[in-house]
Amino acid sequence: MEIRPNAQQMLPPVVKNLLIINAIVFFGVQVIGDSLPFNPIEQLAMFYYESPFFKPWQVLTHMFMHGSIMHILFNMFGLWMFGTIIEKRLGSKRFLQFYILCGIGAAISHQLVQFIEVEYFAADILGVPTVGASGAVMGIFLAFGYLFPNAILHLYFAIPVKAKYAIAGFAAIDLFGGISNNPGDNVAHFAHLGGMLAGFIIFKFWKINYNSG
């Protein structure tokens, strides 16, 4: 099984609506964010739970916020490319549950890491927002590799690699990035890993079997 982007592939309903919602939120914030009666970052991005900006709904809403055009394009590309296949495999209802739960799992993982940073390293992160669907998308990527471990992906549209190895590679990169804690790195690496872990746990709980191809 080889996977390449296919512009003619029909979008299933959940993937299509998630793409639309993310695009509306991103461009809405960019165009009319300053004229809204509230600060969209303070209300919809996710903050550390002890921050004065934290709201419970941010665990969900942060998944629909993005910091830059490249950020949203990368996430939506992954959602389209892999989410289309996973939604058709799971069905729309289960896929939506999977997507949201992976995003929440990523948020919980990120909060736990922030707790360690604050309590043990006195990190000043109370005013730092977290945005993006990356955790949920990484859960989808894990799902694809779980279901189709030997499927061939083409990294950079050229380098063939089996899905199971690509997943292991991305997980290793995120683990290294999270542990190294580079000051100039604003990627929530452990949120990515949390999304992947959540996806694995959900599949085990649902007793979903993998394919050999």
Identify the structural domains of the chain with CATH numbers, from first to last: 2-206 (1.20.1540.10)
**pLDDT value at 186 more than 90:** no
Q: What is the CA radius of gyration of the chain?
A: 17
Q: Is 82 in contact with 166 (CB distance < 8 Å)?
A: no
Task: Tell me the pTM.
Answer: 0.91
d(CA 81, CA 125): 34
pLDDT in tens, 25-78: 999 999 998 888 899 999 999 999 999 999 999 999 999 999 999 999 999 999
What mean pLDDT is reported for the chain?
91
d(CA 141, CA 164): 10
Strand pairing report for 2-3 and 152-155: parallel
Q: Is 153 in contact with 160 (CB distance < 8 Å)?
A: yes
What are the strands of the beta sheet with 152-155, ordered from one edge?
2-3, 152-155, 159-162
pLDDT interval class at 98 (50, 70, 90)? very high
Query: Letter for the amino acid at 102?
Result: C
The pLDDT score that the predictor gives to residue 4 is 54
**pLDDT value at 159 more than 90:** no
**Segments in 6-133 forming alpha helices (H):** 13-32, 40-44, 58-61, 69-78, 84-90, 92-121
Average pLDDT over residues 2-17: 73
Give the residue among 135, 143, 115 at the shortest CA–CA distance from 189. Answer: 135
d(CA 26, CA 133): 12
In the block, tokens 């730092």 appear at: 128
Q: What are the CA-CA distances from residue 55 to residues 12, 42, 168 (Å)?
A: 32, 9, 34
